[in-house]
């Protein structure tokens, strides 16, 4: 029987989840906590409200994630330089080190995956992946319930 594109994408998703579980074993990291770290690494110090919006989670959820990362020494809360009511979440030196290591691991995996594809097929693969992401984004956003006026 022929595997569908959806079956293949589900298999890839499962393998990535297994790899993350292996990589995070014995650490305080979870997929959600690492998403916070990636956002900070890419965007720099951010308010919890900005982080919550970027990750599409509630402020309460982001507070718990930041609390855990702060407890383990990966982030810290600092005073906002222009808004005394706000605080910024920023990576600590431990957080920066962890992110540098993760970026190296991603670069290595990127190389491994690229090596699995013939060079003349890489452009087509990337275009196909981009097209699937765009279509899934459209489908998922179309299924989101409209915000109700209350």
Render pLDDT for 24-49 as a digit per residue (tens, 0 to 9). Answer: 999 999 999 999 999 999 999 999 99
CB 71 within 8 A of CB 95: no
Q: Is the pTM of this model over 0.75?
A: yes
Which pLDDT score, from 0 to 100, does residue 75 have? 98
**Cα dist from 34 to 10, 42, 56, 84, whole Å:** 21, 12, 14, 28
Which pLDDT score, from 0 to 100, does residue 139 have? 92
Long-range Cβ pairs for the range 101-107 (8 Å, 24+): 102/34, 102/37, 102/38, 103/41, 105/23
Helix, strand or coil for residue 147? coil
Render pLDDT for 82-109 as a digit per residue (tens, 0 to 9). Answer: 988 889 999 999 999 999 999 999 999 9
Counting every residue, how long is the chain?
A: 150
φ/ψ bin of 26: left (φ > 0), alpha (ψ from -120 to 50), beta (otherwise): left
Residue 46: both structure tokens together: 């951010």
Containing 76, the helix (H) or strand (E) segment is: strand 75-79
What DSSP string runs through 79-145? E-SS-TT-EEEEE-HHHHHHHHHHHHHHHHHHHHHHHTS-GGGHHHHHHHHHHHHHHHHHHHHHHSP
Considering only residues 146 and 92, tell me which one the structure prediction assigns the higher pLDDT: 92
């Amino acid at each position: 029987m022929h595997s569908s594109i959806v079956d293949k994408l589900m298999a890839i998703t499962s393998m990535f989840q297994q790899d993350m579980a292996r990589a995070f074993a014995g650490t305080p990291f979870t997929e959600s906590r690492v998403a916070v770290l990636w956002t900070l690494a890419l965007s720099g110090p951010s308010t919890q409200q900005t982080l919550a919006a970027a990750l599409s989670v509630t402020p309460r959820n982001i507070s718990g994630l930041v609390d855990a990362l702060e407890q383990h020494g990966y982030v810290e809360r600092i005073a906002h330089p222009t808004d005394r009511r706000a605080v910024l979440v920023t990576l600590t030196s431990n957080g920066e080190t962890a992110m540098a290591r993760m970026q190296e691991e991603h670069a290595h995996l990127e190389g491994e995956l690229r090596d699995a594809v013939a060079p003349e097929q890489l452009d087509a693969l990337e275009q196909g992946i981009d097209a699937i992401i765009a279509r899934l984004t459209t489908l998922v956003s179309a299924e989101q319930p409209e915000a109700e006026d209350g």
